[in-house]
Amino acid sequence: MCRMRGCASHLGALLTSRPTFLHVCVVDCFCNQVANGIPIESWYDDPEDVELMQLLPFLKDISHASVTDVRPAITSRFNLPAKVQEASMRLMNSVAAAAAAHQQQREREQQRLQQQQQQQRSLMMQAATA
C-alpha cells in the first residue's frame, strides 16, 4: 500500500540522487511517476504472498544494459497511464453526476419552499378576509 507522504519523500530522495527516471521502476507506490509504476496486489500481512516473485522475470528483462529507458516496457506491460486516465474520467463523471443530482435536489427544495410560502400567504390572506 502506498502511503502518500512516505511515497512522496522517497521519490523526492530518489530524484535528488537520480535526476532522471529512465532506469527506475517504482513498485506499488508510484504516486506521480505513473510511467515508472508497477502495480501489485497488496502483500501486507500475507506470508503466502508471491507478487514480487512473479514480477522478477519482468524486472530481469528490463534490467539489461541494452534497455535505455524502462518506461516504455512498463507502459507496454501494465498500461498504467491509460488506466489512470480512464479512472480519472470515471471519477470526474461521477463527481459531475453527483453535482447535477445535488443541484436538482436544491432546485426541488427551493420549489417546495416556494410552494410552502405561497400556501402560507394564501392562508394569511384567507384569515385576513375572514
DSSP 73-93: HHHHHH-HHHHHHHHHHHHHH
Q: pLDDT tens digits, residue range 37-91?
A: 888 877 677 888 888 888 889 988 888 767 888 889 888 888 887 888 888 899 9
**Chain-wide mean pLDDT for the chain?**
80
Beta-carbon contacts of residue 27 (< 8 Å; ≥ 6 apart): 37, 38, 40, 52, 55
Quote the pTM value. Answer: 0.50
**Pair 22, 69: CB distance under 8 Å:** yes
Q: pLDDT tens digits, residue range 103-112?
A: 999 999 999 9
